[in-house]
Structures are given as C-alpha cells and as structure tokens.
Amino acid sequence: MPDSVLLSVRGLSKSFAGHQALAGVDFTLRRGEIHALLGENGAGKSTFIKTLTGVVRRDAGEVWLEGAPIAPRSAEAAARAGIATVYQEVGLLPNLTVAQNLFLGREPTRFGLVRTREMRRRATALLADFGLSIDVGAPLGRYPVAVQHLVAIARAVDLSARALILDEPTASLDTHEVTVLFGVMRRLAGRGIGIVFVTHFLEQVYAITDRITVLRNGRLVTERETARFPRLELVHTMLGHALAETEARAEPADRASQKESGTPVLQAEGLGKAGYLQPIDLTVASGEVVGLAGLLGSGRTETARLLFGAERADRGRIRLDGKPVRIAGPRDALRHRFGYCPEERKTEGIVADLTVRENIVLALQARRGPFRPLGRAAEDKIARDFIAMLDIRPPDPERPIGLLSGGNQQKALLARWLATEPRLLILDEPTRGIDVGAHAEIIRLIRRLCDEGLALLVISSELEEIVTYSDRVIVMRDRAQVAELAGSAVDLTAILRAIAAEAAPAPVPEPA
C-alpha cells in the first residue's frame, strides 16, 4: 500500500565541520504507525530529527510528506507543514498557564484582545480528548513532567500534526505515567497519525512500536518490523557487532579466572531512588574491577551517581568494609575515600581555567579543607609525579587544563582522584572521546590500579573493553540491574544476551 506512506525521507545528509553526522539516511513513516528510532550515543538520532524538521539545514536529501516535498527552515515551519516534535525537555513555557501554552501564538482574540475564557474552554476540551482533566488556568510548571509532555503533545496534534516525533518522552516518567502516555500514543496512531518514538528503553520499544529503524554512526543500519526483530539481534545491530564476529572477538580475558576475590570494600544493598534507579545490589572487592554494562540510559551512570552521593538515594544502604556508611553528598564519599570520574568531562570534571596542577590537587585539597593547604611545594610535587606517571602531555603543570586534549584531560582527572589515594574508584566512560593511544594507556592503567589493590567500578559502552578488564560485569537495562556475570562467564556474547533479555528479570547469581 504505497498510499499508506506518510513521511518519506531519502538520502538525508548532514555534516558538521567535516564530521559526517548523517550520511544518506532513508526513513519511512506510515500512517497510524509507531516507529522506533534507535541508536547509541552519536548514532545520529538527534541530528536526524533536527535535520528533518529544519532546525539545522540539511546538506542533501529529500523529505516528502504525504507525497509532497517539504523543506522546512525551522521547527515552527515543520510544525505548520505537519511534522511536530516534542523534545525530552518539553520546550513549553512553565510560567504560562496550560491554556496559554496550548494556544501560544494562535490565541483566540476579539478586537485584538485575548479571549481568555474561550481559550480555557477550548483548552479543557482539547485535553479531555487526551484523558487529561486538569485546571488549564494553572501555570504549566506546577504539573508533573508527564502532564507537561501530554500538553506538549496535545498542542502539537492540535496544530494539525500528521507526523509526531517524540524524542525520549519517557526518560523521566514513572511506570504509570508511561502507561498513560502509551494510551495517548495508541489513540493518536488510531487516528492515522504517524509517530516517531526515540527511546533508550528496549522494553518500551517492544511494548508499543510497530517498526524499528536503527542508526549507527550517522548511517541507516536497518529498518524492520518490531515483531520480526529479536532483541538480541537488535542489540547487536545497535552496538554494531555482527553475531558471528562477537564470538571470535570475545577475548579470553587474562584475568586469573578464579582470582581469589579480596575483601569486599563496597557493598550496596537495595540502593535506589524513585524514578531514577531501581534498587540494585553491588559488591566491589579490593583488587577487583567490576564493569557496569548496558545501553545508554540503562542506569549505569545513575548507579555511579548514587554511589558517590552526587544524587541522593532514597532507599537501600551502603556498607564500607562491612560497616554501614551514610553518603549524603560527594563530600561524604570523598571522606570515605571514594573517587568518581564523571562521564561529562567538560561540565562535571575539569575546571577549564585552572591549571593542570590545580585540577589535580583539587579533590585532595577539598578533603583536607580550606585551612590545611597543601602548600605550593607539595602541589608541585604531586602534579609533577602524576604528570610523569600518567604521561600527561604537554608535561607543563601550569598550563590551563582546558588547553589539553581530551585524553590528557582524562588522565589529569584520574590523577585528581589517585592523588586522594582512594579505596574505590568509579570511572564513567573513562575512554570516551579520546584517541586510540590514550585509550590503550588508560586501560593499562585500570589494570595496574587494580593490581595495586584498588577497588574499581568501571562504566563503559565499549563492551570489548569491559570484557578485557572486568573480573565481574553487572548488566543494566531500563534502570535496573538485570544480570551479574563473574569469572569465565564474562564474555561479550553473555553481556549482549543479558542486555537483550526479555523483561522477566534474569536470575541474578549471588556473588557468594
């Protein structure tokens, strides 16, 4: 049925400063279809959406909506043409009322004055259509994110959208809210609206979508019906491993496969936070590397942040050497000799204006407090030692760290935590965005630290990498812990299977 095609994209391309973010992507959305757009970080999903809706200018390619070519120059133009986008951060105005948001820019007027009562009546009627009965005269910001999403969707649909793009609408919703949203999505699809659904939650993909398109490195990898796309294959496709290939590449790890595990340094029991991370159990022993694997958004970073106190857990407890400790913030974690290199190096790691030396001593100095300064001589020595030990380049401790390459910044951040002589070090994507040489060095470093008796928790999207250095691997999916692999069970295939497993919670082997 060719006439069932609603939106057709052919050869969409976009490059930023020489980097091909989108390379000739084809995409087809049919009437009444819910279509998942999937891919890992940097796959090109958001570039695709932005290019499609004219937020950024496309380099090449064509977009047809209901058989007519369109070339919107802005999100508003795209919405007028019939393609509306609702982003994760809703993009409405929280200080205006619900009704004002719904009719922003098209308020019913009489003699140039806004007819507030008429607007509210129509807003109420519109939302009733979505099963939402709220006071439309109240500021939008007073309502939970789920309601704000529904309002944004209602506005988009009322603007005569025929294609609706939902960019991670469920990222901050709880289970019930997701159900409500899915109800609305099904109803809209029933009316013939085509919905593009971007998400990281595989459960949701299988719960609601009809079709899946996978992007990787800016290219279309595959487009298939959801029912005919087994999970395992989907995960392989997203991560870019051919099935046969993974078996061969799964390195026989050089770990002494039954390394007598040291004493547990950290034990987290039922640690979690409502709407953030489902309770997890986790043990890390000294001299052990525990890998946290999972797709983007699966709860890996969330786990790290709860452990370090960057986000406060509302359930469960943490034991250190068997004794319960309270971690209410990074300062508590630092006092207990935890270290945490966050994923967002630029925004959460480095202080760009400060020198390499100052960045390295920052955490150690923070633990000593402001009135026990290390002193310049000690700072110089620490900086020099770590610059030499980690081979930070250029080896100038007085250079602002912002001028260093990503890999060297990462090493300096590692140095910041190593200088505190931590017992537990959490590394979130330690090798992201750094060149190949530095990559290998950091992996060597992780192994060395572990040999020196440090307890390490490492998060990485590079599964091969996790397999090479982890003694145990904890697999996360949909913000929950789904499996734990230890010893010889740690291999690529097993991790992939765990990531792709069905919703029924996989048995979690108890680590003795």
Partner 1 sequence: MRVLRSGAPQLLAFAAVLLADRLASPQFLAVHLQDGRLFGSLVDVFNRGAPVALLSLGMVLVVATGGIDLSVGAVMAIAGAVAASLADSYPLPVVLAAALGTGLACGLWNGFLVASLRIQPIVATLILMVAGRGIAQLITEGRIVTFASSELAFLGGGALLGVPMPVVLVLVMLLLTLALVRGSALGLMIEATGGNARASALAGIDTRSVTVAVYAWSGLCAALAGVVAAADILGADANNAGLWLELDAILAVVVAGSSLLGGRFSLWLAVLGAFIIQAMNTGILLSGLPPELNLVVKAAVVLAVLLVQSPRLSGLTLLLRKP
**Contact flag: residue 308 with partner 1 (CB under 8 A):** yes
Q: Per CB under 8 A, does 333 bind partner 1?
A: yes
Is 269 or 348 the residue whose CB approaches partner 1 more closely? 348
129 binds partner 1 (CB under 8 A): no
Binding mask 362-391 for partner 1 (x = CB under 8 A): xx-xxxxxxxxxx-----------------
d(CA 175, CA 203): 12
Task: Count interface residues toward partner 1 (CB under 8 A).
Answer: 32
Strand 109-110 with 83-86, pairing: unpaired
Report how far residue 406's alpha carbon sits from residue 380's, in angstroms, rounded to the nearest whole number. Answer: 22
Nearer to partner 1, 134 or 354 (CB): 354
Q: Which is nearer to partner 1, 58 or 416 (CB)?
A: 416
Site for partner 1, residues 413 to 472, rule: CB under 8 A:
416
Q: Which stretch binds partner 1 (CB under 8 A): 68-76, 93-101, 295-303, 355-363?
A: 355-363
Element of type H or E holding 428 = strand 424-428
Give the separation between CA 456 and CA 442, rounded to whole angstroms.
13
CB of 162 to partner 1, least distance (A): 41
CB of 417 to partner 1, least distance (A): 9
Q: How far is the CB of 291 from partner 1 (least distance, A)?
A: 22
Strand positions, DSSP E, 162-276: 163-167, 194-198, 211-216, 219-225, 264-273
SS3 82: coil
Pairing of strands 472-477, 289-293: parallel
**299 to each of 64, 206, 405, 495, how far by Cα in Å?**
37, 19, 28, 15
Q: Does 288 bind partner 1 (CB under 8 A)?
A: no
Stretch touching partner 1 by CB under 8 A, among 26-34, 190-198, 327-335, 432-440: 327-335
Of residues 39, 342, 397, 422, which one binds partner 1 by CB under 8 A? Answer: 342
Minimal distance, residue 381 CB to partner 1, in Å: 16
* 335 versus 444: smaller Cβ distance to partner 1: 335
Considering only the stretches 91-99, 211-219, 344-352, 459-467, report the one whose residues sit in contact with partner 1 under the rule CB under 8 A.
344-352
Measured from the CB of residue 154, what is the shortest distance to partner 1 in angstroms? 32
Candidate list 139, 275, 279, 330; residue touching partner 1; CB under 8 A: 330
Q: Annotate 464-492 with three-state secondary structure.
A: HHHHHHCCEEEEEECCEEEEEEEHHHCCH
Does position 331 interact with partner 1 (CB under 8 A)? The reply is yes
- Work out how close the CB of 372 gets to partner 1 at its nearest, in angstroms, rounded to a whole number: 8
Closest CA to 98 of 77, 127, 68, 70: 127
Candidates 84, 239, 327, 334: give the one binding partner 1 (CB under 8 A).
334
Encoded tokens for 250: 């799964």
Please say which residue, 374 or 508, places its beta carbon nearer to partner 1: 374
Q: Which stretch binds partner 1 (CB under 8 A): 147-155, 207-215, 294-302, 326-334?
A: 326-334
Say whether residue 326 binds partner 1 (CB under 8 A). Answer: no
Displacement of CA 103 from its chain's centroid (Å)? 32
| Choice from 347, 436, 504, 507 touching partner 1 (CB under 8 A) | 347
**Eight-state DSSP code of residue 346:** I
Nearest distance, CB of residue 323 and partner 1, angstroms = 21
Distance CA 135, CA 143 (A): 10
Measured CA angle at 234 (ends 505, 215), to 5 deg: 130
Q: What's the closest the beta carbon of residue 309 comes to partner 1, in angstroms?
A: 10
Q: DSSP H helical segments within 73-195, as ranges?
A: 75-81, 98-102, 116-128, 145-158, 175-190
DSSP bridge pairs for 289: 456
What three-state secondary structure class fits 303? helix
**Does 111 engage in binding with partner 1 (CB under 8 A)?**
no
C-alpha closest to that of 164 among 57, 81, 97: 81
CB of 184 to partner 1, least distance (A): 34
Residue from 168, 302, 358, 465 binding partner 1 (CB under 8 A)? 358
| Tokens coding 359 | 């960045």
3-state secondary structure of 56: coil
Q: Which of 18, 481, 40, 91 is nearest to 280 (CA)?
A: 481
Residues that bind partner 1 (CB under 8 A): 308, 310, 329-331, 333-334, 340, 342, 347-354, 358, 361-363, 365-374, 416
